[in-house]
Amino acid sequence: MPPTLYRDTNYTLRHLIENIEGGRIGLPDIQRPFVWSAAKTRDLLDSMYRGYPIGTLMFWETGAEVGTRRIGTEAGDRAPQLLVVDGQQRLTALFAVLTGRKIVSKSFDEINVRIAFRPEDQTFEVTDAAIERDAHFIPDITALWARGGYKSTVRKFFQRLEQAGGQPLPDAVKDELEERVYRVRDLHGFHFQVVELGDSADEEQVADIFVRINSEGVKLNQSDFILTLMSVHWEKGRRQLEDFSRCAVVAGPAGPSPRNAFLDPSPDQLLRVAVAVAFRRARLQHVYSVLRGKDLETGKVTSERRQKQFDLLAQAQTKVLDLTSWHEFFQCITAAGFLGRKMITSDNALLYSYTVWLIGRHDFGLTVDELRPVIGRWFFMAHTTGRYSNSPESQMEFDLGRIGSLPPGDGRAFIAELDRITAANFTGDYWDISLPNRLDTSSSRSPVLFAYQAALNILDAEMLFGNRRIRDLMDPSVQPAKTVDRSNLFHRKALAGLGITDRRQVNAIANMAYVTWPAAEQSTTDAPHEYWPRVTDAMDPQVLERQVRWHALPVGWAQLDYATFLERRRQLIAKVVREAFETLTGERPAYVPTTPADMIAAGESQGTEFKASARWNVHTRQSDKSLRHNIVKAVCGFLNGEGGNLFIGVADDGSVLGIENDLATLESRAGADGYELFVRQLLDSSLSAPTATTVRVRFPEISGNAVCQISVAAAGKPVFAKPVKGGGDFTDFWVRVGNATRQLHGDDLLRYQEEHWG
C-alpha cells in the first residue's frame, strides 16, 4: 500500500481563528484582494447556520520548525507551520466577519465585510443603508463575537424592535428570537473537515490533490506555489510584489510610482521576471524545490540552502522593482512606437523583454541609452511575431540559454546576439511573404496591425487627409488620450453594391485606414474612384505623396478591383512596417543575414526544425515512405504558426548528415531539381492550400554536405494536412509551438484560429 500523504482532522471555527491570529496557520489572502462578493459570504454563513456542508479545507505542512522566523524579519515574526491551500477565500471571509478585520477589495480599498441577520425569518443579508434603519435586523453580526458585545447587541436589538412596534415584546417571543441570535453566535463552534498534507508532499502532488477534491476545478500553477512559499519564509518579499502591483493600479500620493501606460502587473508576473533574472529560468517547475532549500541531486532540504536561494531571489527582486529601471524599460517600448496598453496583445512580450533589459543592464553593464534601441527592436520583433504567445516559457528558456552562453560582461556580444535572433525572425521572407499573409485578417487586436500602428508612430505619420500626427492623438500622457478610429477605404455600402458583404472581407485590415474625413465627406458612402479625386484635388502634392506612402495606398488604388487592392495594400503595409523598424537600428550597420549554418548551430526552436531525411530511413538503411508525413507535418506547423525553416539532412542534435541517401532514392531524377519537385508535389498533394507563394526550397552546403532548406512563411488562413494514413480529406491541423509541432483539435483548434487569424 502506498504511503499516505495526508491525515484527516477537524477544527472548530474558533480554533481556526485562534490559530490564524497566533500565526500557526498562514492565511496570506487576508491582506490581498478579496475576490469573493459580500453576497457569497452571506450565503456561506447561511449554509453554516442551517447545518449544510460547506466543503473541505486543505492545509499543507510548510516544513518550518516551531519558532522558525521568516527570512529578513525580526525575531518575533514566525513562519506558520500550516498553510491554507484550499479554502483561503472561505476562511478570509469568516475571519473578517468574526474578528471585524478589514479586508482589501479588488480596487485595493480597505473595507469591512458587514453581514446582517433577521431573527424573525432567520435570514442573512448584506448590510446596506436600508437594513441599518430596519429594526428587524441586527445590522452587523460581527458585534456578536466582540468581547462583551453579545448581550449588549441583543439588548439593543430588542429595544429597537419594541420602539418600532410601539409595545413590549412578550417574553416567549424574546426567548425564541434570542435563541436564533445565539445560534448565529454559536457558529464559532462550527466543525470544519480539514485535510492536512504532510511536508513530504511536493507541489505537483499538492496541485493534483487540490484539483481532485476542489469542486470548482480551479488549477494551481507553479507561481501560486512560489508565492505561497514566500508567504511562509519571506512574507516581506511577497508583500513587496503585492505593494508594487497595487501602486501600479491605485493612484497614491504625489511622487514616483510604478504606474505606467502599458501594464498593470500582478505579483506572479513580477515574480516570473525575478526568477528569470535570479536563476536564468523561465520554467518554474524546479524553482519551488530550489527555494525550499532542496538539493535537486540528493533531495535533501536544508535551511542554509533555502536562505542562500532566497538571497539570490531577493537581489533579483530588488532590481525588478527598481522604479528607475521599470520606467527606463517602458521608454524602450515607447521608442519602438508602442504608446499604451491598447496596442499590446501580449503581456509576456513586455515581461520577458523587461527581463532581457535587466540582464543587459546589470550583467552586461550596458547603459540605458545603449539598451533603448536594442530592446526597442527586440520588443518590436517579439510582439509582432508572437514570440511569447505559444509555449512562452520554452521560448524564453531558449533565449536565456543564448544569452547565458555569452562572455560575462561583454555588452557588445549581448547586443549582437539579440540582433542576430531578431534578424533570424525578421528575414526577407518574413517581410515579403509572412507579414502580408498575417495582415490578411479583420482582427482589431492583431499584433501585426499594432506593428503597423507602431510604424506610423515611429515615422511620425499624419492622419490621411489631415494634419494631426497619429502619435499625438494616441499619446496616453495627454489626458484623456483619444481613440484613433480606423475607417473603411471601400465603404461597406459601396462593397455591398459589388456583392461583397462578408464582414471579414469588409473590415479587412487592408481596407482600414486612419482617416480625417473632410466635413463634406464624413457621411459619404461613395466608391473610392468617386470621392478620392474630390478630396485630394486641393491637397498639397508633397503632403499627398507622403500620406499615400505612409498609408500604403497602391498606385491607382481607387480604380482597382477590391481583391487586387487588398493584396497590393498588404504588401505595401509590410514595407511601411519594415521601413519603420529599420529606423530603430539608428546608426548601427545593416544586419548581416543569418546563414543556414547559424540557424543549425542555434538548434531547434520555434522557427527551426531538423529532419534527418525525407525518403531514406537512417536506421533501417532503406527507402521509407512513412518519413514523408514528417515533412508535411512540419511544414503545416510552420504555415499555421509564425513560419520557419525546416532542414532535411540534419539530425536532432544538429549534426549535418546531408541528403545524399535521399537523392539516391530518386534514381533518374537524382539532383536538386528532382528533390525540389518531390518536395513540391508532396506538399501540394498533402496540404489543403497551395504553397507556391509560401514555401521556398534551397540546397545550401554545410560542412561539405548538401542539405535541403525549406523556408516556410506564415499562412494567411488555416492550413490542414491529410492524416498519416492518407485519405481524401484534409483533417489534421498542426502548429509549431516552441520547439515542437503539435496537433490541435476541437475547442483548442477553434480558439487558436480565432486568436491567430481573427
pLDDT per residue as tens digits for the range 389-429: 878 888 898 899 999 899 989 999 999 999 999 988 898 88
Distance CA(117)–CA(37), nearest Å, equals 17
pLDDT at 619: 87
Distance, in Å, from the CA atom of 162 to the CA atom of 160, rounded to the nearest integer, reads 5
Q: Do 628 and 578 share a domain, yes or no?
A: no
Classify residue 207: in a domain, yes or no: no
Task: Please report the pLDDT score of residue 251 as a whole number.
Answer: 72
Q: How high is the pLDDT of residue 30?
A: 47
Asked, for residue 213, whether it belongs to a domain, the answer is: no
Residue 555: the pLDDT is 86
Q: In whole angstroms, give the CA distance from residue 192 to residue 37.
A: 22
The predicted pLDDT at position 501 comes to 93
Residues 6+ apart with CB under 8 A from 705: 649, 656, 657, 658, 659, 660
DSSP conformation class of 69:
B
Q: Which has the minimum average pLDDT: 583-592, 601-610, 715-724?
A: 583-592
Rounded to whole angstroms, how far apart are CA atoms 296 and 290? Answer: 7
Average pLDDT over residues 707-721: 88
Cell numbers linked to 600 = 543549425
Rounded to 10 degrees, the C-alpha dihedral 750/754/756/757 comes to 120
Residues 508 and 623 in one domain: no
CA distance 263 to 395: 21
3-state secondary structure of 644: strand
Q: Is the pLDDT of residue 78 over 90?
A: no
What would the pLDDT profile of 429-460 be if each residue is shown by its tens digit? 899 989 999 999 998 889 999 999 999 999 99
Does 152 map to a domain? Answer: yes
Rounded Cα distance between 496 and 517, Å, is: 21
Q: Which residue has the higher pLDDT, 692 or 589?
A: 692
Burial (0-12, 13-18, 19+ Cβ within 10 Å), 674: middle
Q: In sequence order, what E strands does 1-46 have?
A: 6-12, 25-26
Cα–Cα distance for residue pair 435/339, rounded to 1 Å: 22
Is residue 203 predicted with pLDDT exceeding 50?
yes
Q: Is 605 in the same domain as 674?
A: yes
Residue 524, Ramachandran bin (φ over 0: left; ψ between -120 and 50: alpha; else beta): beta
pLDDT at 593: 60
Q: Which three cell numbers stand for residue 592?
A: 548581416
- Mean pLDDT in residue range 79-87: 79
Q: Check residue 372 and give its pLDDT.
A: 94
On whether residue 420 sits in a domain, the answer given is: no
Q: Are residues 379 and 264 in the same domain?
A: yes
Domain with residue 696: its CATH number is 3.30.950.30
Q: What is the pLDDT of residues 229-261, one digit of tens each?
A: 676 678 788 889 988 998 898 876 677 899 999
Average pLDDT, the chain: 86
Q: Is residue 424 part of a domain?
A: no
Mean per-residue pLDDT for 683-692? 90
Most confident of 257-271, 272-286, 361-375, 612-626: 361-375
Q: What pLDDT is attached to residue 324?
A: 96
Sequence-distant (6+) residues with CB within 8 A of 21 are: 99
Cell of 133: 434603519
> Best-predicted range by mean pLDDT among 124-138, 529-543, 656-670, 723-737?
124-138
- Whether omega before 480 lies within 30 degrees of 0, making that bond cis, reads yes
Helix (H) or strand (E) holding 58: strand 57-61
- 106-154 confidence digits (pLDDT tens): 666 778 899 999 999 999 999 999 999 999 999 999 999 998 889 999 9
Radius of gyration of the chain (CA): 32
Q: Are 699 and 672 in contact (CB under 8 A)?
A: yes
The answer to whether residues 101 and 146 belong to one domain is yes
Q: Which residues pair with 701 in a beta bridge?
A: 706
pLDDT of residue 107: 64
- Residue 208 included in any domain: no
Residue 575 in domain: yes
Nearest to 222 by CA among 234, 237, 206, 235: 206
Shared domain for 661 and 572, answered yes or no, is no
Q: In angstroms, rounded to a whole number, what is the distance separating the alpha carbons of residues 660 and 672? A: 10
Return left, alpha or beta for 704; rule: phi > 0 is left, psi -120 to 50 is alpha, else beta. Answer: left
441 plus 544 within the same structural domain: yes
C-alpha cell at 476: 496616453
pLDDT for res 478: 58
Q: What angle do CA 703, 711, 389 make, to 5 degrees?
A: 115
Residues in the chain, total = 758
* Continuous segment of H or E residues that includes residue 414: helix 411-425
Residue at a domain's end among 556, 584, 612: 584
Joined together, the cell numbers standing for residue 640 give 499555421
With 50 as the cut, is the pLDDT of residue 590 above it?
Answer: no
For 706, the enclosing helix (H) or strand (E) is: strand 705-706
Dist. CA 30–CA 40, nearest whole Å: 16
CA–CA separation, 387 and 34 (whole Å): 34
Please tell me the distance from the alpha carbon of residue 276 to that of residue 482, in angstroms, as a whole number.
36
Q: Which residue has the cell 436600508?
A: 130
Condensed to tens digits (0 to 9), the pLDDT of residues 299-352 reads 777 878 888 888 998 999 999 999 999 999 999 999 999 999 999 999 999 999
Beta-ladder partners of 697 = 710
Comparing CA positions, the residue from 317, 288, 291 lying closest to residue 306 is: 291
Whether 72 and 315 have beta carbons less than 8 Å apart is answered as no
Q: Give dist(CA 91, CA 82) in Å, integer.
A: 14
Domain that holds residue 465: 435-584
Contacts of 576 (CB under 8 A, 6+ apart): 452, 455, 456, 459, 549, 550, 552
Same domain, 106 and 182: yes
Write the pLDDT tens digit of every residue in 457-493. Answer: 999 999 999 988 998 888 776 554 455 678 999 999 9
CB 474 within 8 A of CB 334: no
pLDDT above 80 (res 90): yes
Question: What does residue 553 show for φ and ψ, rounded to 5 degrees?
Answer: -95, 120
The answer on 226 and 374 residing in a single domain is yes
Same domain, 722 and 616: yes
Which of 385, 415, 445 terminates a domain? The answer is 415
Other residues' Cβ atoms within 10 Å of the Cβ of residue 156: 12
pLDDT at 236: 86
pLDDT in tens, 598-653: 888 888 888 899 999 999 998 888 999 889 999 999 999 999 887 889 999 999 88
Q: Is residue 214 part of a domain?
A: no
Per-residue pLDDT at 591: 44
608 and 750, same domain (yes or no): yes
Question: In the chain, how many H helices and how many E strands?
Answer: 31, 21
Q: Are residues 255 and 392 in the same domain?
A: yes
Query: Can you read off the three cell numbers belonging to residue 69?
Result: 522566523
**pLDDT single digits (tens) 17-45:** 998 888 888 776 544 566 678 899 999 99
Closest CA to 293 of 279, 305, 311: 305
Cell triple for 112: 469591512
Residue 35: predicted pLDDT? 65
Q: What per-residue confidence (pLDDT) applies to 588?
A: 41
C-alpha cell at position 327 = 520606467
DSSP secondary structure letters along 291-333: HTTB-TTT--B-HHHHHHHHHHHHHHHHHHT-HHHHHHHHHHH
For the chain, the domain total comes to 4
CB-based contacts of 156, cutoff 8 Å, min separation 6: none
| CA gap 61, 386 in Å, rounded | 40
- In angstroms, the CA 442 to CA 512 distance is 9
d(CA 712, CA 645): 6
pLDDT at 202 over 70: no
